[in-house]
Structure 1
Amino acid sequence: MAVLSNNDLFCSAALAGLYDVFDPEIGLNVVDLGLIYRIDFNEETKKIIVTMTLTTQFCPMGESITADVQQSVSDAFKDYQVSIDLVFNPAWSPEQISPEGQEFLDR
């Protein structure tokens, strides 16, 4: 699943760090897991909104995962305020896992 953004260059920089943020229960990063839906950048206000989901609404590691996502994007964009928009519509499904993620899980 491709991550949507209003700034592809900035999005690539944000995603580079997010490949190091893992769902500890599954062992797969949040990008390949398909948890990141959208990253929008407002250069005037220096704000970033990351729209993402979790594998379930009741994910026991949800707070940790969202905090790690926020920290990762903040590290990449030190002058920006980062907020997480946690959504469950559309709901996550295994079909959102990238081909690389599927390969990792099939090992």
Structure 2
Amino acid sequence: MVRERSVWGVSEAAGGVAALRREDVIRVLDGCYDPCCEERRISVVDMGLIEDVEICGGRVGIRMLLTSGWCPFAARLTETIRERVGGLPGVEAVEVEVVWDPVWSPERMSESAREKLRLPLERLLPLREARIGRGGRR
């Protein structure tokens, strides 16, 4: 008996051996950046945006979260992911689906991403002192 697996509506027999591995897709995704995070080199993987990767033969399905429903770069980001993952050998099609459950939260970020987004204390102290010097007024 040949079982069927699906990548979001596209079924394919699971009897063949897929040369494409999940690790290969994750490695490519680790080089994809939301334009807001590209300067700090925080990938979609480090931001915790990738919810699931499913491979079925040459088809790759990626479920992805957004940090906000108002993300102005969502279309650009999903297109970048399609292009980069689609460039892997053996990939015939890539589907990127934005999902809203679970909701993205900062806890999903890697420690590396948190560190890159942290404002160093030496930059915070002068701001604090300036505010205290003004009596707390802005």
> What TM-score range do you get, normalising by the shorter chain?
0.7 to 0.9
User: Which segments of 5 or more consecutive residues in structure 2 lack a partner in the other structure?
Assistant: 1-17, 120-138
Normalization by structure 1: what TM-score? Answer: 0.82
Name the residue aligned to 2:34. Answer: 23
Out of 4, 22, 47, the position equivalent to 1:11 is 22
5 Å-filtered alignment, 1:1-107, equals: 10-27=21-38, 28-43=42-57, 46-106=58-118
Kindly tell me: are residues 78 and 101 of structure 1, through their superposed partners in 2, closer, same or farther at Cα, counting changes over 3 Å?
same
Query: Which of the pair has the greater relative contact order for Cα pairs under 8 Å at 6+ separation?
Result: 1
Is the Cα–Cα contact under 8 Å of residues 60 and 91 in structure 2 kept in the other structure?
no
Q: Percent identity?
A: 28
- State the Cα deviation string for residues 54-103 of structure 1 (Å, max 9, x = none): 11112001111111111111112443211011101111111100111112
Coordinate RMSD, CA, aligned: 1.8
Partner SS for 1:54: coil
User: Which segments of 5 or more consecutive residues in structure 1 lack a partner in the other structure?
Assistant: 1-6
CA distance in 2, matches of 1:51, 1:15: 12
What one-letter code is carried by the residue in structure 1 that aligns with 2:28?
G
CA distance in 2, matches of 1:32, 1:77: 24
Kindly tell me: are residues 36 and 20 of structure 1, through their superposed partners in 2, closer, same or farther at Cα, counting changes over 3 Å?
same
